[in-house]
Each structure stands twice: as C-alpha cells, then as structure tokens.
Amino acid sequence: MAKERVGFIGTGIMGRPMAQNLLKAGYSVTIHNRTKAKAEQLLLDGAAWAANPAEVANNSDVVITCVTDTPDVRKVLLGEHGVIEAARPGLICIDMSTISPSATKEMGEILGAKGVILIDAPISGGEIGAIEGKLSIMMGGPKETVEKARSIMEVMGRTVTWCGPLGSGQMTKLANQIMVIHTIMSIAEGLAFAEKAGLDLHTTLKVTSAGAAASHSLKALGPKIIAGDFAPAFMVDLQQKDLRLVLEYAEQLKQPLPGVALAKQLLSVLQARGRGRDGTQALVEVIRQLGKSID
C-alpha cells in the first residue's frame, strides 16, 4: 500500500522536527504555517507548501495540526480557508496540539457531519522528544482510525497509546500535566526549604532522589535548580496554558483541584515578573521569594 499523503499545519518548535521526521521516513508532506519563514528549512528538505489549511487538506489523506491553543485549532480546522472547506469523506485529521477536550469533541462532530474523522493526539516529551522521534502520543478517537494512523504516529513517537474515544487523548494529557505541576511544586518547595535550612543541595538531591521522593522532575530539573539554570525544558507560559485547560475542564466535570489552582497562582508570579519564558523549574524562585524580606 502506498504511503498516505500527509499534511502538516503548524511547524513551530515541536511541529518542525515532527514534520522533518515524516520527510525522513519517506512520506510526502504538504505544510502550512502562519509564519512562512519558520517553514523554509522544511521546504528545502522536500516538503510542499500550501497557502492555507484547505489547500493542505486538498493535497493530503491525513492532516496533522500542531498549533498552540484551542482558538488556533478552531481557526485552522473550521475557519476561513480551513480544513473544513476541503472536507470529504474519509479525510483524517489528527490534532496534536494540547487543547480543550470539550472543544475537541465539538469540532469532531462538525467535521464528522462532512465525513471527516477527527483524532486527538497530544504529545509529551518536549523539543528533544520531537527531534528524536521519541514523543509520547496520547490518542483519542475511533479505535480503527487510530490504528490506521499508528504507522504515521510511530515515526514521531516512541509510545503511541489509544486512550479512548475522541477527547481522551486531551484528557490524558491534562491528567499528565496535573501530575507534572505537582512534581514541580515538590522540588520547588523541597529545595527552597533545604536551601534555607543551610543544607548542601547536592547531598539533599542525592538522598531524596534515591527514595520515596523520587520523580522525573527531581532528576531532570533538580540539578538545573542547583545550577541556577532556568532555561526552559518546558516554558512557564505553556504550562500555564495547560493548567488553564485543566481547570476549565475540571470545572465542567465539577472536580475541584485545589493543588493545581494554588500551583497555577504561584506560577503566575513568574509571568507577572516577565519570566513566562523561563522553564517551569523557576517556580523555586517564587518559593524562595516568599522567604525573603520585603525591600
């Protein structure tokens, strides 16, 4: 069977290396990005350019979207010159952005009425995971369509999991982000306390990493905190976007999440100070600041 023609909309920090991996794997890829300049390298590498999302869909069997937020996906799929203008039965859309689960379900119905199948497939693993094709991809939608898309997904991800019907990928991603922010709180308060107590942080890190306090965040970000390195593995602004999605959806579910609410407020201190583009490990700076005298 010939490889599907793949469309890729959104060639930013994550999308660019993902599209690159599809090209390397021999897929014919048609791309579109709001800012064409960010797509130049992909065009040199053999991708075809399309002037808008509808044109991408006209030239593709499977259209992947990887943009920032719910309104961006809505515009690309349903807006003027959106994918919906090229809708035809059998077209598959795979949205790899992290957006609202309820908006995903709603857009799935609108596209479904035209025979287009929407799949949600948000990702985790960061820029390095995207470059190395080692993302974790959380998929929601009809199982047979997800399985059909699996070979394409496996070019970009190491772990491709079907999580349930449409929206389940987004919900799983949000559950993941809830867990992540608490582990960031863990290291921020734990290391700020240790520092204030005058402990040697290298020793603290070694001891705590070996036992019940261990977490991926402690291992990956603990050394960065000690080194004062606040370069982003994952940016505060993006974490906040995800936590907004978490709290919005939790409100729909009527599920209070007091810990997430607190963490989001504390992270917002970094945004207020113009540090929204720091990595999330900068949360330790907020906790430290709480323990400083007011000048």
- Provide the annotated active-site residues: 173
CB of 98 to its own copies, least distance (A): 13
Is 204 a binder of its own copies (CB under 8 A)?
A: yes
7-36 positions binding its own copies, by CB under 8 A: none
Binder of its own copies out of 97, 98, 208, 281 (CB under 8 A): 208
Is 124 a binder of its own copies (CB under 8 A)?
A: yes
Nearer to its own copies, 33 or 280 (CB): 280
Residue 96: strand, helix, or coil = coil
Q: Give CA 175 to chain center in angstroms.
A: 13
Q: 238 Cβ partners below 8 Å, 6+ apart?
A: none
Residue by residue, DSSP assigns 8-64 as: EE--STTHHHHHHHHHHTT--EEEE-SSGGGGHHHHHTTPEE-SSHHHHHHT-SEEE
CB of 162 to its own copies, least distance (A): 8
Residue 145 and residue 152 in contact, taking contact as beta carbons nearer than 8 Å: no
169-198 positions binding its own copies, by CB under 8 A: 171-172, 174-180, 182-183, 185-194, 196-198
User: Nearest-CA neighbor of 124 among 136, 140, 139, 138?
Assistant: 136
Is 141 a binder of its own copies (CB under 8 A)?
A: no
Is 143 a binder of its own copies (CB under 8 A)?
A: no
Residue 122: strand, helix, or coil = coil
Is 253 a binder of its own copies (CB under 8 A)?
A: yes
Is 138 a binder of its own copies (CB under 8 A)?
A: yes
Binder of its own copies out of 8, 27, 230, 234 (CB under 8 A): 234
Q: Which residue has the tokens 């799949």?
A: 119
Is 290 a binder of its own copies (CB under 8 A)?
A: yes
71-110 positions binding its own copies, by CB under 8 A: 101
